[in-house]
Amino acid sequence: MPSVSRFPEPQAVTAPLTEYAVFLVVALQDGPAATDTARTTLADVDALVRSVGFRSLHAGLTCVVGIGSDAWDRFGAPTRPAHLHPFVPIEGYRHDAPRTEGDLLFHIRASRHDMCFELERLILGRLGDAVRVVDDTPGFRYFDARDLLGFVDGTENPVGDELGEAAYIDSEPDFLGGSYVITQRYTHDLSAWSSISTEEQERIIGRTKADDVELDDAVMPTNSHVTLNTVVDEDGNELDIVRFNMAFGSYAAGEVGTYFIGYAKSPETTELMLQRMFVGDPPGNYDRILDFSTATSGCLFFVPSSATLEMLGDLPSAAVASAAPGEVTTSVPAPDLPSDGSLRVGNLRGDHDR
């Protein structure tokens, strides 16, 4: 594949895991004014990140923006990502993966919670009443990147060049450097989990708890989390996604869990993993972690490159597009978009091969 460095500049999908995160999902309100406010706000997110991030240069503040299927259509972009669609709910053998509403995702990360808080405040202030908050989950790193079940989470993430190869789109010419992301909020029954032995927990996960070593094939259960999340293509090559899961919740409030977030160059890989988890392979041989962890949300978003995200602000106003013939509006005239269907973003028409 072409070098990721020659793609349009991607968003900070592959930024290192941080101590804190905020997973903010919002729904667009009805009407062209809400659409235009959201679209222009997204185009300015990088500037907001810089304004907050400059206050602590070592905090590693980033924000990845994802756009849902319906929102992308409302923005009126001339082309559409090939694999963008609403999250497909799964009716499992015993447990289900629901689809929940969500038009925009803001995945905010930093080594300080106050930086995440401040950026979220500015983003929501800019969006105003154009959106309704659906999910606002603050995440935290739990010890050495463990989930609240006590196991290291994300061990099988690709590293080095393979990180970008798994995360960034390389086969859609209009959207090189973009990504797809699926999010799910899982709540844990820690009392039930604690009631079983460490050995049984290890068989469910497929790794040892203390030192995070994968179980030998001879003793690895066919319905372990590791087994069912290992998928291969028709040539036998393992397919990867990039996870940046975080623990969340309050033990005193009675709700704790893991916020799953998986980036990939195609959502089909993540969808196959979820299908195997909830339905089982073969059907009925489902992931036993679901007996202790309940999925309460499910969304799929497209993550455009930074340049494409900025160019959303130059698309025709939704207010202009919806105005009746002869109706006077105060919106800015639509830009002259190129006839080839691109957003006039560099490297979207073969420039990456130069």
β pairing state of 131-140 and 104-110: unpaired
Closest among 162, 123, 143, 120 to 14, alpha carbons compared? 162
To the nearest 10°, the Cα dihedral for 218, 222, 224, 226?
80
Is the CB of residue 323 less than 8 Å from the CB of residue 329?
Answer: yes
Q: How far apart are CA 10 and CA 281, in angstroms?
A: 35
| Count of all residues that appear for the chain in the document | 354
- Going by the DSSP 8-state scheme, the letter that residue 175 receives in this structure is G
Give me the active site residues, please: 153
Alpha helices per DSSP H over the chain: 32-43, 45-53, 69-75, 113-127, 161-167, 190-194, 198-205, 225-228, 267-278, 306-311, 318-322
DSSP assignment of 62-119 equals EEEEEE-HHHHHHHT-SS--TT------EE-SS-EE-----SEEEEEEESSHHHHHHH
Is the CB of residue 305 less than 8 Å from the CB of residue 345?
Answer: yes
Is the CB of residue 258 less than 8 Å from the CB of residue 186?
Answer: yes
Q: How far apart are CA 136 and CA 68, in angstroms?
A: 17
